[in-house]
Structure 1
Amino acid sequence: MIPPLPSTLPPLPGFNNGVWLKGDWHMHCRHSTDSSNNPQSRIIGFAETLGFDYLAITDHDVHVQGAVAQNTWADPEYTSESVLLFYGAELTAPRGHVNILSAEPYDHQAIFDARNARDWDLLKLKHDLGIHWSANHPHHKNHYGFSFDLADSIEIWNTSIWPKNIPSVRIWDDQLLSGRMLGARGGSDSHHGMPDDPALIVPLTIERSGNYVGTPTTWIYATDRGKPAILTALKQGRASVSSNPYNPRVELLADTTGTGQFDMMMGDNAIPTGAHVTFEVRLLGGGIPGANYQVRVIKNRSDFATLLTDATTRTVRFTDTPSPTDRSYYRVEIEGPQAPYPEVPNSMALSQNMVALSNPIYFNYDPEF
């Protein structure tokens, strides 16, 4: 069934009263048996030092037979005065991996026990528990094999190794083109703590020396600093992803009225009028001063334009006319020089020239699909 075009949509929520928050949605501590040198105190302390706003420590539930509440969550080290800690775990099932996320404790054992149930039964359980279901690394040896109708978000950037994520981005584009509004996020999926001795960083394996908290970093634009608001924004796609926390945050805005005032941002959905729409790409904070960044604009899974940001304003604009009779989405990818991440120095080379990417702006999407 082709999703219908909407006849009406709720008013655009606006974006003048929110706050940008940075964090990491996917990592493992010592309660995952394939993790090493990575107690929660190390992870959380690192995040606190670098000014992260939120974290999700998502240990493999299969390693404790689903008892994450008695292990990860009950660990005395699972605490922070400055970083918001989500309750969650990585559902580790034959059909793939899912990050289950929640603002408050929930019955993860019920999810674990039902991991091989039919998707429609899992959908009901998801709604009953009030959890966020996020598809992990869809193109991977442990790929996401559940229905995307279950997913509230999708991990399109897993670890600092950018090239391995290109097929995952394609899968995301396929879902967007099919009519789904699916918010995208990143996740370091870090399993191993950085060594205490900096001299040991370079000789270590790639995973142990080039991937840690914030590789990549997901920026969330939430209505407030509370965990429920952050999860709502993640589902809406009011987010962008940077290869590390020192790189710029990308924002994509749109002016649909021609007044010079931007009334849409990433995750927003509107009915087009047939008039020209002006889009602006902004790079904020971090990055390399004076650098020109390349902006690749993707419209409906295809390349639309390749642009360069102004070195001073770090912005660029483009225009298009979204079809009033079809769905359209626009998103951007940013390439250029990597900002150094001194605490995780080998991550720069692994990310190559991919600096950041945005969630889409939508036109004519059915929000109920």
Structure 2
Amino acid sequence: MWLKGDWHMHCRHSTDSSNNPQSRIIAFAERMGFDYLAITDHDVHVEGAVAQNTWADPEFRSDSVLLFYGAELTAPRGHVNILSAEPYDHQRIFDARNARDWDLLKLKNDLGIHWSANHPHHKNHYGFSFDLADSVEIWNTSVWPKNIPSLRIWDDQLLSGRMIGARGGSDSHHGIPEDPAKIVPLTIEGTGNYVGTPTTWIFATARTKPAILKALEQGRASVSSNPYNPRVELYADTNGDGQFELMMGDNAIPSGGPVTFEVRLSGGGIPGASYKVRVIKNREEFGTFITDPATRSVRFVDAPSPDARSYYRVEIEGPQAPYPEVPNSMAQSQNMVALSNPIYFNYDPDF
């Protein structure tokens, strides 16, 4: 099943946030029909004590939205979203934030947490080993252009043989208060970047937090600039039988023969619009195609080498669907509508 949410947000327990209590974030997500959220406050602002702050807040609850336990590890070497289906000892992670990566890997495994690399290209860039990462944030905030270098960093990792699932995260910090007297200079950011800018869609086997985290790690996900835009799905038919047995995150052994790929746009978007599909193969542009406005899909064919690794992912450009709840977000996302995770060929799952 497809589930939508946001993996990166800050509430009042981050000191650089304003007018953004958890109650506001969660109520907004509930109204928008989101399935999951990760409120990831800066741990350095509470000296690592997120369990006594964000998680202990009486507002940290929802009857309809799955709330992950987590925090943004805020360290000299960069920022990491630590995510978990259940409470864990975040203080141990915070206290070890400057440890060697092999020690952090052992601690990560001991705690059973998901380690997600935040905004790889940023003033607070991700400077830890990507061999620690279970996923990577390739779309941070609604401002698309600043994410282009992060895509290249992700492509570099994919080309090196690493299968790292990609996600988005609004990194939203600021809400819009009902009382105009509480408006601050950064309040305007809430009109252009808030919950769901971007939205990450997860294809999970169940509507549970463990299933969602597993799917994210597997790369069974795509990212849309806002929840009203279409979700992009990438499939492949490896044997010409008309059945598309591979989807994003899958890894197959190619025969050397032709493989038919299908890009589908599901839900949302502008009725009757055509969208540009940019196919990336092994970090290079393979080709560009235009979706059929009736079927909202397009196919392309290639023959992945049986003697080398290959991956294929797609980027969708076109008109932005309005997001009236966050009205300035569309202009900031420009023409970028959605991104897929890859389909892999000849990758070593034990690499």
Question: TM-score over 0.5 for the alignment?
Answer: yes
User: Contact (CA 8 Å) 1:194, 1:212: kept in 2 or not?
Assistant: no
Q: TM-score, normalised by structure 1?
A: 0.93
Distance 2:188 2:235 in 1: 36
User: Contact (CA 8 Å) 2:192, 2:329: kept in 1 or not?
Assistant: yes
Match of 1:219 in 2: 201
Equivalences for residues 1-369 of structure 1 within 5 A: 19-196=1-178, 207-369=189-351
Size of the aligned set, in residue pairs, is 349
The aligned amino acid for 1:358 is S
The 1:275/1:206 distance shift into structure 2, 3 A limit, reads farther
Could you report, residue by residue, the CA deviation over 1:251-284 in whole angstroms, capped at 9, with x for unpaired residues?
0000001100000000000010111000000000
Distance 1:205 1:195 in 2: 8
Q: Measure how far apart 1:194 and its partner are.
A: 2.8
Q: Measure how far apart 1:206 and its partner are.
A: 5.3
Q: Measure how far apart 1:195 and its partner are.
A: 3.9
Distance 2:215 2:347 in 1: 18
Q: Secondary structure at the match of 2:322?
A: coil
Identity of aligned residues (%): 86
Segments of 5+ residues of structure 1 without an aligned counterpart are 1-18
Q: Secondary structure at the match of 1:116?
A: coil
The 1:284/1:197 distance shift into structure 2, 3 A limit, reads farther
Distance 2:268 2:247 in 1: 21
Q: Measure how far apart 1:204 and its partner are.
A: 6.6
Q: Measure how far apart 1:207 and its partner are.
A: 2.5
The 1:163/1:26 distance shift into structure 2, 3 A limit, reads same
Moved more, 155-164 or 204-213: 204-213
User: Contact (CA 8 Å) 1:185, 1:218: kept in 2 or not?
Assistant: yes
Distance 1:206 1:79 in 2: 27
Moved more, 186-195 or 262-271: 186-195
The aligned amino acid for 1:55 is L
Could you report, residue by residue, the CA deviation over 1:169-212 in whole angstroms, capped at 9, with x for unpaired residues?
000000000000000000000000134379x99x9765232000
User: Contact (CA 8 Å) 2:174, 2:186: kept in 1 or not?
Assistant: no
Match of 1:8 in 2: none
Q: Secondary structure at the match of 2:29?
A: helix
Distance 1:205 1:167 in 2: 27
Distance 2:187 2:207 in 1: 36
Segments of 5+ residues of structure 2 without an aligned counterpart are none
